[in-house]
Amino acid sequence: MKIVNKFFLTGLFCLLTVCVFAQTQDSISVRQGETQPVDTATTKKTLVYLLHADTVSYDKEVMKADAQFLQGDVCFRHDSSYMYCDSAYFFETTNSLEAFSNVRMEQGDTLFVYGNYLFYDGDTQIAYLRENVRMENGQVTLFTDSLNYERIPDIGYYFDGGLIVDSLNQLSSFYGQYSPGTKLAIFNDSVRLENPNFTLYSDTLHYNTESKIATILGPSIIVSDSGTIHSSRGWYNTETNTSLLLDRSEVYSGDRVLIGDSISYNQDAGFGEAFGNMCLVDTAQKVTLEGQYGYYNERTEYAFATDSARFLEYSQGDTLYLHADTLEMSTLDSTAREIKAFHGVRFYRTDMQGVCDSMQFNTRDSVLYMYDNPVLWNAQYQLYGDTIEIFMNDSTIEYAHVIQFAFAVQHLDSTYYNQLKGNDLKAYFEGQAVRQIDVEGNAESIYYPLESDGAKIGLNETKSGFLTIWVKENKLEKLKIWPSPLGNLTPIPDLKPEQKTLKDFYWYDYLRPKNKDDIYTVVKKKVEDAPVRGDNKFKHEE
């Protein structure tokens, strides 16, 4: 129930985020360093007024224009804006001015712009400020050497490098724009956002100085002490250190990387939740966890995957492909991992294939545990029983241990099978083939001795306390049974159908995964082939 709630809440959270994200993009028009045209038909033109100056002079011969030269404590007003400077040229006929030295522009009591030079056009209401420009709006300050400020849309933009600083972050880029009214900023080309906890590098970024949310719209990298994020679309709340990352973003943490169509990530908690084609890669252990949904906790190093979940282990070149309804991966220590698989387990590797209800694999002791109706195949051999333990050595099978009820079958041809049965069974491997099988307790066997030309002599049936066979090139090389063995040989022509199999014999080849893609195939045991054995030895961690 906990997982269902998590799906619902996170889905609602993503839906609301996408709506806000779309509105944010629609409300901002990106400018690329060029003055945007003002609709003069709907803009009411008003005059720029000179309020005061220490001296006023006029020399048309020298200026070649209708200009007044003003010096000392110069002040202009245009509507609600005031402009101050040490000296200026005032062009009444064009309703414009040039201001020099200690330039200050004020709009209301919230916006202040400073610089060494200003050209202001009263008709278009655009201010061009140059050299040591500083725009202040509450806790937000913009620094640049070239700033154009348009009063009508209330947007200032630079196009030759600039910096915006607020109470939490510092953002720089080659091109940028800021709207004091909406508190929205746009950055393009060589964008850098510096936060106490991380640094964000981007090609295109939108930023709200009020909410402190950065909207990623181009290839971006976020670097912090905990790891690195690669994303080309999404948003990042720089105040809460939470984010929604889209378009196959990647979250790196140590030797692991979390990838997904979308990722909800909390940097402070070290928790990433992935939706759609989730993939967690451990480059050190050479394992991969996949699913349509999953999450990873960087603090506990615990991972979860479901919906077409798959685990891959490729440390020795021969990859193990394992599928189950649910997969979990946890860290035991710096070198050991534990994998748990629940319900509908199917796995494939070139030297072994298997099915069971639940499975556990510990990289520390290299033992793979199969629970609840486990079946294991190797070439012509099939092993099944209550529980199967597979002991690995450098990713190759050393031996398989079938505990309590145990059955081994070798398919010969047609309807003929060599069979071993007992309380406990161990199958030892040499390379990728079975070399020796030991049976302990109530050992029974059926096998077919062969002539030199491969023809079957008959059926040899034995019973004993213990049994060992040695196999070479998939043929019986030697048999040892003890103590007090019983046996008999029945010629092939005299065989009755019921003599050809031991009690509890089943041939499950129709369940066997044929390749790495066949692990997703849902195959159920036939009713007549479905003995219920064993219990789930471990619990699913909710």
Which amino acid, one-letter code, is at 87? S
Average pLDDT, stretch 101-125?
A: 96
Q: Is 542 exposed, middle or buried (0-12, 13-18, 19+ CB in 10 A)?
A: exposed
Number of neighbouring beta carbons within 10 Å of residue 525 = 15
How far from each other are the two terminal CA atoms of the chain, in whole angstroms?
9
Residue 404 has pLDDT above 90, yes or no: no
| Residue labelled with tokens 């967690």 | 280
Residue 43: which pLDDT band, with cuts at 50, 70 and 90? low
Residue 333 has pLDDT above 90, yes or no: no
Check residue 24 and give its pLDDT: 40
Residue 227 has pLDDT above 90, yes or no: yes
Q: Are 415 and 500 in contact (CB under 8 A)?
A: yes
Pairing mode of beta strands 228-231, 256-266: unpaired
Please list, residue by residue across 376-389, b when 16 or more beta carbons sit within 10 angstroms of its beta carbon and e when fewer do: bbbebbbbbbbbbb
Residue 44 has pLDDT above 60, yes or no: yes
Among 79, 2, 80, residue whose Cα is nearest residue 47: 79
Check residue 473 and give its pLDDT: 84
Check residue 74 and give its pLDDT: 97
Distance of alpha carbon 520 from alpha carbon 321, whole angstroms:
10
Distance of alpha carbon 404 from alpha carbon 318, whole angstroms:
30
Q: What is the DSSP string of 120-142?
A: EETTTTEEEEEEEEEEEETTEEE
Report cis status (omega within 30 of 0) of the bond before 491.
Answer: no
Residue 112 has pLDDT above 50, yes or no: yes
Q: Are 89 and 69 in contact (CB under 8 A)?
A: yes
Check residue 20 and give its pLDDT: 38
Distance of alpha carbon 155 from alpha carbon 147, whole angstroms:
10
Residue 517 has pLDDT above 80, yes or no: yes
Q: Are 257 and 241 in contact (CB under 8 A)?
A: no
Check residue 272 and give its pLDDT: 97
Number of neighbouring beta carbons within 10 Å of residue 368 = 23
Average pLDDT, stretch 519-535?
A: 73
Q: What is the DSSP string of 65-119?
A: SS-EEEEEEEEEEETTEEEEEEEEEEETTTTEEEEEEEEEEEETTTEEEEEEEEE
Check residue 59 and give its pLDDT: 64
Which of helix, strand or coil describes residue 50? strand
Q: Which residues, in sequence order, are CB contacts of 142 under 8 Å at separation 6+?
A: 133, 134, 135, 136, 156, 158, 162, 163, 164, 165, 176, 178
Q: Are 293 and 302 in contact (CB under 8 A)?
A: no
pLDDT, tens only, 386-403: 999 999 887 788 999 999
**Residue 238 φ then ψ, to 5°:** -75, -10
Check residue 374 and give its pLDDT: 97
Which residues in 298-432 belong to E strands, given as ranges?
A: 302-313, 320-331, 337-349, 352-362, 367-371, 375-378, 381-393, 396-413, 416-422, 424-430
Pairing mode of beta strands 396-413, 424-430: antiparallel
Average pLDDT, stretch 407-415?
A: 92
Residue 537 has pLDDT above 80, yes or no: no
Residue 1: which pLDDT band, with cuts at 50, 70 and 90? very low
Top-ranked range on mean pLDDT: pick from 391-395, 440-444, 478-482: 440-444
| Residue labelled with tokens 């398919």 | 411
Among 456, 453, 460, 378, residue whose Cα is nearest residue 412: 456
Average pLDDT, stretch 202-206?
A: 97
- Backbone dihedral region for residue 528 (phi beyond 0: left; psi -120 to 50: alpha; all else: beta): alpha
Distance of alpha carbon 177 from alpha carbon 209, whole angstroms:
12
Residue 3 has pLDDT above 80, yes or no: no
Q: Are 130 and 106 in contact (CB under 8 A)?
A: no
Distance of alpha carbon 67 from alpha carbon 60, whole angstroms:
7
pLDDT, tens only, 46-88: 999 999 999 999 866 555 467 899 999 999 999 999 999 999 9
Average pLDDT, stretch 420-444?
A: 94
Residue 526: which pLDDT band, with cuts at 50, 70 and 90? confident
Average pLDDT, stretch 125-147?
A: 97
Among 482, 533, 526, 479, residue whose Cα is nearest residue 506: 526
% of the chain at pLDDT higher than 70: 88
Q: Provide the whole-model pTM.
A: 0.82
Check residue 14 and give its pLDDT: 40
Check residue 42 and give its pLDDT: 52
